[in-house]
Structure 1
Amino acid sequence: MANQQNKTQPTSVSVEAFLNTIEDDQKRADAFKIKEMIERLSGDTAQMWGTAIIGCGTYHYKYEGGREGNFMRVGFAPRKANLVLYIMSGFSEYEALLDNLGKHKTGKSCLYVKRLSDIDESVLEEIITLSLAYMAQKYPE
């Protein structure tokens, strides 16, 4: 198990080329806006992770069982039903912010929004900023 690699790895595929394949005009515009947001907030250039995830920054993790690897510090995927933002710190500390975010759903570290117009983008930026700070503390570069 220690040698098992994370199946989602960074690739050399162009983020812009991938985003331009999104057929829905609004989803494509929202995806470009999120890309710019995570780049600005992280200070890193976005890159493709796997075939459909855009991520910024990397961190190295190591589990007690010995499995280790690298993953993005923040990212998103423009899925058919939702824009999925990957907030690596999870959401346990962000209840008040989520109450003010607008229409969304959450998973363990996934934030699902239909479109940016459904949410308060400044609240989203605050959540991303706090998550990046958490990641910087837990996994210093």
Structure 2
Amino acid sequence: MKPTGHDVAGLIARSSPAKRRRDAETLTALMQEVTGREPATWGTIIGFGSCHYRYPTGTEGDSGLLAFAPRKAATTIYLLDGVAAHEEALAALGPHTTGAGCLYVTDLEEIDLDVLRGVLERSLAWVEAGGTPEMQLTVTA
């Protein structure tokens, strides 16, 4: 996937319900602070910076270093190092659900933003360190 160049503020403004817009504004500020990079749209995803990933199978592509999507049911936060790497921290986060590499939050006001910041900082450090042999990462922006 590549950045699409659409308006980030417009994507946030079109998000619903209203708390998804509120949460998107909060996450945009938090991820921008953590990464030191400007937000960019990747379709309906808001990403910060970019990296190229490659698996030993030859599958490869591009992704934001940190990213999220303000979906109707929940905000999806993408963690390239997977949620299992953050199991202990996520136990203290507050109400959420997970997938292999996704953290789903329905209301940021109900979670501990300091815990989330720590998860994001550790995930970013893992990406910037190049990932693992199972998922090699190269920061490109």
* TM bracket (short chain): 0.7 to 0.9
Query: Among residues 17, 24, 29, which one is paired with 2:17 in the alignment?
Result: 24
Structure 2 match to 1:49: 42
Residue 38 (structure 1) aligns with = 31
Provide the aligned length of Structure 1 versus Structure 2.
133
Alignment-mate amino acid for residue 99 of structure 1: A
Which structure is higher in RCO with an 8 Å CA cutoff and minimum separation 6? 2
Higher alpha-carbon Rg: 1
Q: 2: CA distance between counterparts of 1:54 and 1:93? A: 22
Structure 1 residue 140: Cα displacement: 4.9
Give the conservation status (yes or no) of the 8 Å contact 2:3–2:40.
yes
Q: What letter is aligned with 1:93?
A: A
- Report the AA paired with residue 6 of structure 2: V
TM-score after normalising by structure 2 = 0.88
Percent identical across equivalent pairs?
35
Q: What do you get for the CA RMSD once the two structures are aligned? A: 1.3
Which of the residues 112, 117, 120 maps onto 2:104?
Answer: 112
- Structure 2 portions without partners, runs of 5+: 131-136
TM-score (norm 1): 0.88
Q: Tell me the CA shift for residue 27 of structure 1.
A: 1.6
Counterpart Cα distance in 1 of 2:109 and 2:92: 14
Deviation string 1:100-137 (CA, Å, 9 cap, x unpaired) is: 00000110110001010121011001000000001010
Partner residue, 2:63: 71
Distance 2:67 2:31 in 1: 7
Unaligned runs of 5+ in 1: 1-7
- Paired with 1:66 and 1:94, the residues of 2 have a C-alpha distance of 27
2:4 partner amino acid: T
Change (3 A) 1:96 1:64: closer
